[in-house]
Structure 1
């Protein structure tokens, strides 16, 4: 005798156990409290995240490799710029904030040191360490705190003339926020300030074209983000 098919409450129970009540609730609200539609929306969200991560990965690799090329060509320290303690990403960068002095490169040093450790410590090669550093690290290199030490003498050369550091940092932050949301499987729908996925994807296309025009064309021609957006359940 064939076992009866599970009814909706049973199906809803296992989905809720899988995703957790708070996570599922966000999708249920979007799906009019329909569990079948909520599950379809969750699957679509994962597909969109994968498509977005692919495009972001392309521009992330372009940013880090271009930054490394610019720094390597112009940094004249004893060691590679990511290994030399006197480089502008590692040397103490003291600023006064809220009445207290803070070294704004402390986090960079910890991040780079951890990447070096994961790559074998003393035997680590620059290319390996570069690949270990997060998108957030490269965005941080373009922030206001590093304008005089990194942007003006070095990193502005990676971008077209008259590129605004402020606008660039804003674009990188938008992409980084979307990347973090996708990598943590968060909902990618909604238009709250700073959470517009379509805006993040436009920045990916824009920055990739600014760095390497052919790469911009390649991402634009091969991306599946726009198609996935139009097929939302």
Structure 2
């Protein structure tokens, strides 16, 4: 990829941070860009496992004993559990489901955004945390505030990866540590499993520049 191709294929604005990091050296910037793509993929793989783990742990507690359908009989449509904005996000997820398929609790749990799960740890859900939600994290002396900021930062991190944004200035190691910490609060075996599989630390150590 020669300079004019980089400008055309990647856009000048996108490639510039890599050029800056490489002190203007085009070949080194390309090497860094290629490494960055591998790192982003590894980060998203870790987020994938983490997000599935968290949402299933929460659903296991809030949906304990509830049916898969109709969805109106589950916690996902219960104004006694969710704030109006939370129910609205559930409705949006329901509307996005493939037509013709049953609207089950499992499908909706899989369809709501990471922001929905992060939002459950805001101050407005303190009572939900005290009575139910804390039981999704049985392997740690955890208070709601232990999750609030971490989950919001992870939400932003996830979105940056999903939109292929530049991660060069992101504190990736801390975000990955947060995922492992929270996973351990859910199940220490899940934390170890995730730590064994992630390629992120090795890729961070292999940064070209």
TM-score, normalized by the shorter chain, greater than 0.5 = yes
* Equivalence map 1:14-53=2 (5 Å): 14-53=5-44
* Larger Rg over CA atoms: 1
Q: Structure 1 residues 11 and 78, CA, compared in 2 at 3 Å: closer, same or farther?
A: closer
Q: Secondary structure at the match of 1:28?
A: helix
Contact kept in structure 2, 1:74 and 1:154, CA below 8 Å: no
Q: Structure 1 residues 157 and 123, CA, compared in 2 at 3 Å: closer, same or farther?
A: same
Note the alpha carbon deviations across 1:65-87, whole angstroms, 9 max, x for none.
11111011277997011134x34
Distance 2:13 2:194 in 1: 35
Q: Which runs of 5+ in 1 are unaligned?
A: 1-9, 91-104
Does residue 63 (structure 1) correspond to residue 75 (structure 2)? The answer is no
Distance 1:125 1:68 in 2: 13
- 2:192 is aligned to 217
Contact kept in structure 2, 1:158 and 1:211, CA below 8 Å: yes
- 1:88 is aligned to 81
- Going by fraction, where is helix more abundant, 1 or 2? 2
Alignment size in residue pairs: 203
Distance 1:205 1:34 in 2: 36
Does residue 170 (structure 1) correspond to residue 149 (structure 2)? The answer is yes
Q: How far 1:172 moved relative to its partner?
A: 1.2
Distance 1:228 1:152 in 2: 39
Does residue 186 (structure 1) correspond to residue 159 (structure 2)? The answer is no
Q: Structure 1 residues 74 and 153, CA, compared in 2 at 3 Å: closer, same or farther?
A: farther
Q: How far 1:122 moved relative to its partner?
A: 8.8
Q: Which runs of 5+ in 2 are unaligned?
A: none
- Which structure is higher in RCO with an 8 Å CA cutoff and minimum separation 6? 2
Q: Structure 1 residues 182 and 231, CA, compared in 2 at 3 Å: closer, same or farther?
A: same
- 1:151 is aligned to 129
- 2:87 is aligned to 109
Contact kept in structure 1, 2:40 and 2:161, CA below 8 Å: yes
TM-score (norm 2): 0.89
Distance 2:112 2:178 in 1: 21
Distance 2:75 2:132 in 1: 12
Q: Secondary structure at the match of 1:142?
A: coil
